[in-house]
Amino acid sequence: MLPSETSIAEFLSFAPAANAETAVVFLQQCDTINEAVDQYYHNPHKYVGPSRPSVSPTISLGGPTSPRFTAITSCSEQSTIDPVEHRNLSSAHCSSSLSRSQRDSSLVPDNLHTNALIEATKKRAVDEQQVQNMRLAVQTRFRVYNSEIEPERECEYPCNCPIHKYVQKKAERLPIQEQWARAVMYPGEKHYYGYVWGARFFNHNPYQGKVISPYGYVSSRYLAMPRPDPTFHAKSLHQAIEVNEDLNSKAQLAVDALEPSFCIWDVDQLEKSISALGISSATSQLQSSGKLRRPSLKKALSIKSSEERVASKTLKLFAGARELRDSIVKEESGRWPCDEDKSVVYRYQDNMRLTRAMTDMRNQKPLQYLHLLRAGYFEPIPLAWAKDLSSPLRFTIDAAAGWRGITPTWRGFQTTGEERLQWVVNHRSGNTRGRERPNFFTALNQARTRMAQSVPCPSIYRSPYDTCFLKTTATEYSKQIIKVQDYAFNEPSEPTDETMILLDVSGSMDRPPRRSIYDQYLLTEFVGSSHPRNKDVAQSIIRRFTQALANHDQNRSGYELTTFSSKAENIGHLNYFNFEDRWLNIKFGGRARVMIGWQSLKERFFQKHASTAIFHPIYGWQAGPQTPKLRTLLVFDGEVQDIDDFELDLLSSPWAHVTILLIGANECPRHHQNANRLQSISDANPRVSFVDAQGNVPERFVVHELLKRHLGRPICMGEFEQLELVPGQLRPFELPAREPPPPHLPELEQPGPPTPVELASREILWQPELEGDHPPPYSVAVGDA
């Protein structure tokens, strides 16, 4: 078609990212504006040069292709996603000869994609971590240990106390909260907020009046700080869970009702079919240009016929379907503009086993698909998120305060990362049972049940050199959770696998051990325990583990150690000879963030094997088919902030095998809550295994279990005793025992004492020296065999 000012302006209204020159080129190559817009979103560089430089195809990530979803389905004719045959990962290449800086500069996109949710995320991330730290500081100061309880004051007027400063900070964030709500709300939902001064009226908070305060109705202490009441706290939790379930079910039904009743990717064919039925004469008139005559007053005031009402309603449905379809196409094109991005994203979807769920949702629930697409649910976690303190995966979800999540059933989650993880686990292909929604009652009851299953450790593992005997006055081990031998070993280790160690060095590892005390479901205090500090137990177990593994691998250079807390640090290789010197360089302190350490560990691993992988500027390193497996030992106490992010990353990393050691206090419900959380990670991911150690730890037993899971095969006790020998120690050697006599046979008469033989030279020889040695009874001579 011949471009005109009107057609160019209309093209740019549908494609705001394009310029006038691009519009002219696409309009010249197409017959209609709709065709030009569709071809632009299908490939913005089809008739113009690409805006991103290509990378040299030296490394292929291709391999056996699995069934992948395609937007060009049986009911689809237009999409930005390539067909199945074009989704082979062999298009994802990267030059191994380029340096890291050259890769970054050559792969950074010119125009980063954005949407309303991304802009709201940027605004919220500015002070999200500051507010979380302020809340934690106030809770710690006033001994409010349950994370779901907000600190309160009895006086209504604002003062200069820390609680009112925190409340004032929340009030200052109301504009950010409203912007975030507009970005994540579904059509028909209303924004509300929690209680702040001056904002009581015109609020639609469904929790007000339905959930009691954990502090009770009235507190008798006016001047002192109010304390949560265990009974009212349990009641408030029950009420909040009931309200959450009710609102979630209603919200899901409402959103499902908003979904189109037909396939939006086939709207053009549907419109043609309806037009052929002869009931859309009014539709054609409404779609025509404004050259129609002005209707008469009588016609304007008359009631529409049934055909006109049907045609008008159908027109609105088709217009809404086109708008939804174009929004999805635009979002997909903006997020994945080139083949390299698509290859990484498709590989992630296959590793997460989300391809089928995405296909069904894109065709059957496009409205929900668009919301999750804007939130990045269908692509890897960006590298910047893992290193950012205010990561979008750690945004707080507070239903009573109005801080929303992404999915329709967001109520009840604590963070956006927990919400995304729950959705991913429950929508993976082959998942026979979904993960239950996190519930404080269920979690604490399961922790108490698990704690009651502790049994004494087998005495065969007892060692006088364990830390609990050397640094305390303990004489016995604490009871441990010993599982029956039903553990399904993952892939056995190979000689090409590489082992690295990730150690938590946060402040909780260095403080005196303590266990939590609960009154019903309210955490009231922490009581000290007499067992060693977690860092001392970790030191001894890591020494034993690296020593046994070095004997197995014949590796004398040692294994690389990375520590993490608020930041990550590489300590170097640990072996038997430099262990004490390396350990002295470790500094403890800060708050544990496992993703910082995990990203640092991956960075060093991929730098060693850069020739087998590629680096993406947004999603980081991506393993190839020749990349060796990374086997990691993670040692921590469970008090980490980003465990959900860590599990999400492990689900998408088939090259990573992680063995987790959890160290904690004896008879501590909080420790067993963390243990159950890690056990759920191990159940969902066969490449993740888990070992628990509490109180006075039998270190040889723990190391034996760690070796089984790390090597991916059973290890008998005799082999373990051989592996745990230190360098230079003689291996025990036992002579074969004398064979017992066969049963039901008479015992042979033993020869008598030898008789001396006197020679002519007065020398005396004993009889055996003359006749030769007698074989032992019931032995078989070589000739007889």
Over residues 81-93, the mean pLDDT reads 37
For residue 777, is it left (φ>0), alpha (ψ between -120 and 50) or beta? Answer: beta
What sign does the CA torsion over 567, 571, 576, 580 have? Answer: negative
Tell me what pLDDT residue 738 has: 58
What is the Cβ-side half-sphere exposure of residue 296, based on CA atoms within 13 angstroms?
3
Range from 83-97, 150-164, 205-219, 304-318 carrying the lowest mean pLDDT = 83-97
Task: Give CA–CA dist 67/416, Å, rounded.
Answer: 30
The CA–CA distances, whole Å, from 148 to 194, 389, 430, 719, 756 equal 14, 21, 34, 48, 95
Of residues 728 and 779, more confidently modeled = 728
Range from 193-207, 318-332, 473-487 carrying the lowest mean pLDDT = 193-207
Q: Residue 742, Cβ neighbours under 10 Å: how many?
A: 7
Tell me what pLDDT residue 552 has: 94
Asked if the model's pLDDT at residue 23 lies above 70, the reply is yes
pLDDT tens profile 383-427: 999 888 889 999 999 999 999 999 999 999 999 999 999 999 999
Q: 201 with 190: CB under 8 angstroms?
A: no
Tell me what pLDDT residue 542 has: 97
Tell me what pLDDT residue 780 has: 43
Asked if the model's pLDDT at residue 756 lies above 90, the reply is no
Q: 262 with 320: CB under 8 angstroms?
A: no
pLDDT tens profile 662-691: 999 999 999 999 999 999 999 899 999 999
Task: Give CA–CA dist 397/411, Å, rounded.
Answer: 8
Look at residues 676, 711, 716 and name the one whose alpha carbon lies nearest to residue 448: 676
Asked if the model's pLDDT at residue 485 lies above 80, the reply is no
Range from 16-25, 263-272, 775-784 carrying the lowest mean pLDDT = 775-784
Look at residues 364, 367, 287, 363 and name the one whose alpha carbon lies nearest to residue 324: 367
Helix 366-374 and helix 230-258: axis angle, to 10°? 120
Look at residues 556, 578, 582 and name the one whose alpha carbon lies nearest to residue 570: 582
Asked if the model's pLDDT at residue 32 lies above 80, the reply is no
Range from 243-247, 428-432, 505-509, 547-551 carrying the lowest mean pLDDT = 428-432
Q: 470 with 496: CB under 8 angstroms?
A: no
SS (H, E, C) 573-630: EECCCCHHHHHHCCCCCCCECHHHHHHHHHHHHHHHCHHHEEEECCCEEEECCCCCCE
Tell me what pLDDT residue 753 has: 64
Over residues 366-389, the mean pLDDT reads 93
Asked if the model's pLDDT at residue 477 lies above 90, the reply is yes
Per-residue tokens: 244:
């959450």
CA angle, 373 as apex, 371 and 379 as ends, to 5°? 150
pLDDT tens profile 609-622: 999 999 999 999 99
Task: Give CA–CA dist 462/464, Å, rounded.
Answer: 7
Asked if the model's pLDDT at residue 524 lies above 70, the reply is yes
What pTM was computed for the model?
Answer: 0.77
Task: Give CA–CA dist 672/414, Å, rounded.
Answer: 19
Tell me what pLDDT residue 388 has: 84
Over residues 149-170, the mean pLDDT reads 80
Over residues 260-282, the mean pLDDT reads 74
Q: Highest mean pLDDT: which of 29-38, 326-335, 727-736?
A: 326-335
Tell me what pLDDT residue 105 has: 33
**Which pLDDT band holds residue 161 (cuts at 50, 70, 90)?**
confident
| Residue 323 three-state SS | helix
Q: What percent of the chain has pLDDT over 90?
A: 57
Asked if the model's pLDDT at residue 294 lies above 80, the reply is no
Asked if the model's pLDDT at residue 594 lies above 70, the reply is yes
Over residues 637-655, the mean pLDDT reads 93
CA trace torsion 349, 353, 356, 359 (10° rounding): -20
Q: Highest mean pLDDT: which of 267-271, 484-488, 707-711?
A: 707-711
Task: Give CA–CA dist 287/708, Å, rounded.
Answer: 70
Asked if the model's pLDDT at residue 162 lies above 60, the reply is yes
- Residues, the chain: 785
Tell me what pLDDT residue 488 has: 59
SS (H, E, C) 335-360: HCCCHHHHHHHHHHHHHHCCHHHHHH
Tell me what pLDDT residue 49 has: 44
Task: Give CA–CA dist 44/670, Å, rounded.
Answer: 53
Asked if the model's pLDDT at residue 60 lies above 50, the reply is no
φ, ψ dihedrals at 120, nearest 5°: -65, -35
Asked if the model's pLDDT at residue 297 lies above 80, the reply is no
Task: Give CA–CA dist 230/234, Å, rounded.
Answer: 6
Tell me what pLDDT residue 59 has: 37
Tell me what pLDDT residue 212 has: 92
Per-residue tokens: 341:
């991005």
Over residues 144-153, the mean pLDDT reads 87
CATH superfamily of 497-724: von Willebrand factor, type A domain (3.40.50.410)
Mean pLDDT of the chain: 81
